[in-house]
Structure 1
Amino acid sequence: MSGDIYIAAAGALSCEKRLQIISNNLANANTAGFKMDQGNLRQISPAEVPSQGAGDPGDLAASRAHLFWNNFSVYTDHSNGPLKQTDNVFDLALNGKGFFCVQTPDGVHYTRKGDFTLNSDGVLVTGNGWPVLGEGGEITVQNKENPRQNAKFSVDGQGNVAVDGKPVDTLRIVDIKEINQLSKAGDTLFKPPAGGLTEAKAEDVKVSQGFIEMSNVDSVKMMTEMIEVLRGYESYQKVIQSADKTYSQAISEIGVL
């Protein structure tokens, strides 16, 4: 295969990957707590690029294309999204750096999606039913004097939880220093690496009750990027088609000779 086709194919594949990322971002533009992803092509030094030797030029082009493709990575933008007022007492939003801690069957995961609710046992849980953790573990919201009567649930700016005016726990809100080591477990949950990571108590964060943090996706910007990527993809396709046509003609002419 020609060098032109290898290089153009690598470019087209990177465009496809970026389109997948953009499409997923747009699909979650209205998902509370969603953090958008971005594609990144690491800058490659001249020393890393294979040089021309005695081998097949096509193999050289393939090696170069492979190098560029393998240096394309995806990272998550953890910037804050806008807050939306809901007036639901179980909706909680974080303003600043930090994550809520959630107990899942696979261990503790982290989230910024604060549209919580109560399960049948009166435990504060996520929409998936996973318990939201306080410093003392699961948080139970229950009127102890009259379990059938709804308890008054309140959370202050520091994450202190009170039920019927009595303190019961403090939300476990953590700051992750190695934030780039987190990986997505679904659209709004993040899981730590197998070796774990370092949690620190979030200091520069405020809890807002009756609010949820919305997605940090800028739909207009994403649509603009999509148009640019589509144009780039079309350009790479034209290069591939042109190179293929040229080499097909050359092969035909050689066959005639």
Structure 2
Amino acid sequence: MQNALFVGVSSQAALQRQLDVIANNMANVSTTGFKSRDTRFQEYLMPVASADSFTGSDRRVSYVIDQGTVLNLSQGAIEQTGNPLNVAIRGEAFLAVQTPQGERYTRNGALEINAQGQIVTSDGNPVLGEGGPIAINAQETGLTIGADGTVSTNFGVRGKLRLVTFANPQRLTSEGGNLYASIAAPRPAGLEARLEPGALERSNVRPVVEMTRLMDLNRTYATVSSMITRLDDLRGTAIRRLADVA
């Protein structure tokens, strides 16, 4: 009976983690370039007793363990904006940006020019080119960004946005603000990754799917909670009856 309670609690902890992931996905339905995450769990089998005094083998007790989350890198919808500072990334690549915490990576292609003339993300982080941040003078006009990331104005080529990829993008860690960090060094993106100027990649979160998952999760949580309550009542009844016999 005690094992059943522990199994129920492990299930509830896993469901709580899944709820947090779904809530974060739903909160970023409108976030440019956001990539959803999904939870992964694994089964843990409690070691069974092996004493010879048992008449039969013990039943295996199966717990739920949080194995982490998986980054969904599927392409989000591309929306044309006509803004020359907007770029949508096609393929599994990221823009490199400079933050106070060091180099980070994003799919957010809603770019701007700050007061210093640097090309930055909508959060103000300088976007890195192959030679560092790219700056545009106030006198320059006709800014364009090519599919290969080349930034040009009436003064000519001003730099090239640095597109990077990773050997194992599942190891990227989310840091908030639509930024990712990586312990492994990035590598230049190949020809399969390119930019679509004048467009933005929308979030790849599918609200209907997430809402369905949320409803299933709520039902499962209620079922597990009811089971734990019944087991607790059964244990209390057993204790009272044993006390009456004594």
Q: TM-score with structure 1 length normalisation?
A: 0.86
Map of 2:207 onto structure 1: 219
Map of 1:14 onto structure 2: 14
Is 1:116 aligned with 2:111? yes
Whole-angstrom distance in 1 between the partners of 2:92 and 2:77 = 14
Q: How does 1:1-257 map to 2 (within 5 A)?
A: 2-42=2-42, 49-53=46-50, 65=63, 68-69=64-65, 71-142=66-137, 147=138, 149=139, 151-164=141-154, 166-193=156-183, 196-257=184-245
Amino acid at match of 1:80: Q
- Deviation (angstroms), 1:72: 2.8
Is the contact between residue 110 and residue 191 of structure 1 (CA under 8 Å) also seen in structure 2?
A: yes
Whole-angstrom distance in 1 between the partners of 2:156 and 2:215 = 54
Whole-angstrom distance in 2 between the partners of 1:178 and 1:254 = 58
CA 1:198/1:125 → structure 2, altered by over 3 Å: closer, same or farther?
A: closer
Segments of 4+ moved more than 3 angstroms: none
Aligned residues: 239
- Deviation (angstroms), 1:179: 0.8
Whole-angstrom distance in 2 between the partners of 1:34 and 1:156 = 22
Is the contact between residue 43 and residue 62 of structure 2 (CA under 8 Å) also seen in structure 1?
A: no
Whole-angstrom distance in 2 between the partners of 1:129 and 1:77 = 26
Whole-angstrom distance in 1 between the partners of 2:10 and 2:50 = 22
Whole-angstrom distance in 1 between the partners of 2:100 and 2:136 = 22
Whole-angstrom distance in 2 between the partners of 1:225 and 1:207 = 33
Is the contact between residue 164 and residue 186 of structure 2 (CA under 8 Å) also seen in structure 1?
A: no
- Deviation (angstroms), 1:127: 1.8
1:137-181: CA deviations, max 9, x gaps?
111122xxxx3x462210111111101261121110012112112
Amino acid at match of 1:127: S
Map of 1:57 onto structure 2: none
Q: State the secondary structure of the residue aligned to 1:185.
A: strand
CA 1:198/1:112 → structure 2, altered by over 3 Å: closer, same or farther?
A: closer
Is the contact between residue 173 and residue 182 of structure 2 (CA under 8 Å) also seen in structure 1?
A: yes
Is the contact between residue 34 and residue 187 of structure 1 (CA under 8 Å) also seen in structure 2?
A: no
Is the contact between residue 140 and residue 154 of structure 2 (CA under 8 Å) also seen in structure 1?
A: no
Map of 2:54 onto structure 1: none
Amino acid at match of 2:239: I
Aligned-residue CA RMSD (Å): 2.1
Structure 2: state its 5+ residue gaps: 52-57
Q: State the secondary structure of the residue aligned to 2:226.
A: helix
Whole-angstrom distance in 1 between the partners of 2:162 and 2:131 = 8
- Deviation (angstroms), 1:91: 1.1
Is the contact between residue 141 and residue 151 of structure 1 (CA under 8 Å) also seen in structure 2?
A: no
Whole-angstrom distance in 2 between the partners of 1:180 and 1:12 = 26
Is the contact between residue 97 and residue 128 of structure 2 (CA under 8 Å) also seen in structure 1?
A: yes
Amino acid at match of 1:183: T
Q: State the secondary structure of the residue aligned to 2:89.
A: strand
- Deviation (angstroms), 1:74: 1.3
Whole-angstrom distance in 2 between the partners of 1:187 and 1:43 = 33
- Deviation (angstroms), 1:246: 0.3
